[in-house]
Amino acid sequence: MLELIDIHTFYGPVEALRGVTFEVRQGEVVCLIGNNGAGKSTALMTISGIMRPAAGDIFFEGISIKGVSPHRILRMGISQVPEGRRIFPKLTVRENLEMGAYSGRGNAASLLEKVYTLFPVLKERHKQAGGTLSGGEQQMLAIGRALMSSPKLLLLDEPSLGLAPIVTSKIFRTIREINREGVTVLLVEQNARAALKLSERGYVLENGSVSLHGRGEDLLNNELVRKAYLGE
């Protein structure tokens, strides 16, 4: 479904991605794990078109999306939940969700009902300003907003960041549910254990390139991964 081939992405002189190659197959949950600064967020932003790669190619459903605008990539069915949530704090929950529908994919009213079913708390609080929600609820809102474009591929950047373990579990359960309903998921996480448990396959990013990949289960048992990313 998605294929990155030897992608190089720079911030000015800083080469954040140094030849990244990986793929996500339709229906999978795939995770990218790696330390701070490894290039995880840059990889997601390069896929969603926010960052433009200097070299390499990216294919989505067989079509090159290298250099395509973020808006068109969204319309093609790739939606990103950015790191740090970035909801609109002054808009209501419902308005935040409606902002996500501007891509015009799918029917906004039925998508809104689907999001409310997935996250009943958002329905209860639909008139409340986004900024007054708890951290976990804001993450739900950010995911809900991304779902309002009816994506085929959902990119999630550290959905568990700063959340209590119980809230993290709820978010991870919901990601699984979203995937079961047919959305392919590419998940970036510092919480490597939870991410690998949820994922069919995982890639380890180190210094802007993939150092290791495999089935989620196998990476959980990999000695290097256990030492470097699972705190053992």
- Residues lying near ligand ATP in the complex (CB under 6 A): 11, 14, 16, 34, 36-42, 83, 190
At closest approach, how far in Å is the CB of 127 from Mg ion?
A: 32
Token pair 């991410």: residue: 195
Name the binder of 11 from ligand ATP, Mg ion, none, CB < 5-8 A by kind.
Answer: ligand ATP
DSSP H or E segment with residue 42: helix 40-47
Nearer to ligand ATP, 39 or 53 (CB): 39
Q: Binding string, 76-115, against Mg ion, x = CB under 5 A? A: -------x--------------------------------
Please give the Cα distance from 157 to 45 (Å, whole number).
10
In angstroms, give the least distance from the CB of 191 to Mg ion.
13
* Whole-number Å distance between alpha carbons of 52 and 68: 9
Which residue has 């590419």 as its token pair?
186
Of 8 and 123, the one with the shorter C-beta distance to ligand ATP is 8
Binder of residue 53, out of Mg ion, ligand ATP, none (CB less than 5 to 8 A by kind): none
- If the CB atoms of residues 76 and 188 are measured against ligand ATP, the closer one turns out to be 188
CB nearer to Mg ion: give 83 or 206.
83
Q: Does 139 bind Mg ion (CB under 5 A)?
A: no
In the complex with Mg ion, which residue's Cβ is closer, 122 or 208? 208
Separation between Cα atoms, residue 20 and residue 86, nearest integer Å: 26
Task: Name which of residues 15 to 44 contact Mg ion (CB under 5 A).
Answer: 40-41
Comparing CB distances to Mg ion, the nearer of 35 and 92 is 35
The pair of structure tokens assigned to 6 is 């030897």
Strand order in the sheet with 153-157: 78-81, 153-157, 184-189, 29-33, 201-206, 209-215
Mapped onto helix, strand or coil, the DSSP state of residue 6 is strand
CB 75 within 8 A of CB 150: no
Q: Choose from ligand ATP, Mg ion, none: what does 136 bind? Cβ within 5-8 Å by kind.
A: none
In the complex, least distance from residue 38 CB atom to ligand ATP, rounded to whole angstroms: 4
Burial class from Cβ neighbours inside 10 Å (0-12, 13-18, 19+) for residue 126 reads middle
State in angstroms the smallest separation of the CB of 218 from Mg ion: 24
Instruction: Report helix angle 108-118 to 165-180, nearest 10.
Output: 140
| Footprint of Mg ion (CB under 5 A) | 40-41, 83
